Amino acid sequence: MCEVALKENERIDDLQRNGYRIIQNPEKFCFGMDAVLLSGFTRVKPGANVLDLGTGTGIIPILLEAKTDAAHLSALEIQEESADMARRSVMLNHLENKIDIVTGDIKEADQIFQAASFDVITCNPPYMIGQHGLTNPDAPKAIARHEILCTLEDVVRNAAKLLKPGGSFYMVHRPFRLAEIITVMTKYKLEPKRMQLVHPYVDKEPNMVLIEGCRGGRPRMTVEKPLIVYKEPNVYTDEIYDVYGY
């Protein structure tokens, strides 16, 4: 029996981790593999204080709570409808003491949270620049995918303000913006330290990049071996099954 009320078109999905579940609305926006891969790429030390910027329906803090020994996880989301789903998912999993969902704007994150107060910050930001290809710029899916309400620089600038010195920033993005990503991270003293390209198949070009930066870190970046998603159509590689926990 469900402990929280579902709204129209919502469903509960099993996350295959600690028995955790998440409320989603396929009519609006559902989390994708990029969020799951980011949760697998992120390193969280025991006792860490974590923030997820633009959390959507809360998938990343819920997965990180399942996978790590973080002391506390906060999450910021500008769309109240998504934030409400995230809060109900937190309640569904009885994680109210571990995860806080805050409704607010990434551009104002430094006013919502205390400066230099987080050990780890994660973000699965909008990938697409501007209004290209948009039919409804107010739609939840458009806001999640396009830089309508915040830009890459907004994300990086605020993450730099909120991270403790030596704290880590983790982001998933698209390789076609990699030069811009590294430039902006360096500008705000989030030194790129670790990167991994994600390929749909071994013979296809990458369609995602996972990157870690360190606030005030020294210049030196490790490029990890590529992560391949499928070994054949609809069959994940062993590495992907490991991330998903199957």
pLDDT by residue (tens digit) across 80-124? 999 999 999 999 999 999 999 999 999 999 999 999 999 999 999
pLDDT range class, residue 29, cuts 50, 70, 90: confident
Assigned CATH for 11-244: 3.40.50.150
Mean pLDDT of 188-200: 98
Tokens representing 133? 């290809």
pLDDT range class, residue 244, cuts 50, 70, 90: confident
pLDDT by residue (tens digit) across 54-76? 999 999 999 999 999 999 999 99
* Mean of all residue pLDDT scores within the chain: 91
Percentages helix, strand, coil for the chain, rounded to the nearest 5? Answer: 30, 30, 40
List, as own/partner pairs, every contact residues 194-198 make where C-beta atoms lie below 8 angstroms and the sequence separation is at least 24, other chains included. Answer: 194/221, 194/222, 194/223, 194/224, 195/221, 195/222, 195/223, 195/224, 196/41, 196/223, 196/224, 196/225, 196/226, 196/227, 197/226, 197/227, 198/37, 198/226, 198/227, 198/229
Alpha-carbon gap, residue 148 to 96, rounded angstroms: 30
Alpha-carbon gap, residue 219 to 223, rounded angstroms: 13
Mean pLDDT of 239-243: 91
Strand-pairing partners, residue 52, are 75, 122
